[in-house]
Amino acid sequence: MEVWASRYTYYTLHKHESLQITPDQYDIVGKYLVEAIQEVLGDNCTPSIQDVWTAAYDQLAGIMIQKESSLSDQDKEWKDWGDFHIVKISRESDEISSFHLSPVDGKPIPTFVPGQYVSVRVYVPNLGYMQARQYSMSDVTSSQYYRNQCKQEQGQQFTPGILSNVLHALKEPGQIVKVSHT
């Protein structure tokens, strides 16, 4: 149980860190999670069942908050979203492009380990707000840029990928995107 929990908790922690999830947001998620459970269970959701779900979520949230705090303490030099230039776009196939992202301020970037994520946030015109998506790193050998690959999701059998299509619409380097890491 501990090995399973540790492995999946590790990935979730890094995704939360890259999205800048804060402790107070866990209360919001918990509130709506318990409401969703009540809606699905209907009359079968007794007060004691609701209490058990609330306690279980609160325990998990406490673990996540504690571990995320220690994770963020490991790298104090870079917090929040940073501005990055897209310095190179390489078409790897009809569906996949690689994006080389370099910090606007020119400072060295933290190193990554294979499988680690970076979050990229861009303005999505048809939604009218910024949207973030996580990408695993495909090149971790440079302190000057991050390289990630993005598959364009056309959406023949499902909803098209919002962020992947915005990124693939970029034909030339030079755009600035927001990047967060863990």
Question: Which of the residues are catalytic?
Answer: 26, 68
Other CB atoms within 10 Å distance of the CB of residue 39: 9
* Residue 36, both tokens: 């969703």
For residue 101, with 0-12 CB atoms within 10 Å meaning exposed, 13-18 middle and 19 or more buried, which class applies?
buried
Task: Calculate the dihedral angle through the C-alpha atoms of 34, 37, 42, 45, rounding to the nearest 10 degrees.
Answer: -70
Q: Is 140 helix (H, G, I), strand (E, B) or coil?
A: coil
* 115 touches 145 (CB < 8 A): no
Q: DSSP per residue over 35-52, as a string? A: HHHHHHHGGG--HHHHHH
Contact between residue 116 and residue 182 where contact means Cβ atoms under 8 Å apart: yes
Segment holding 137, helix H or strand E: strand 129-139
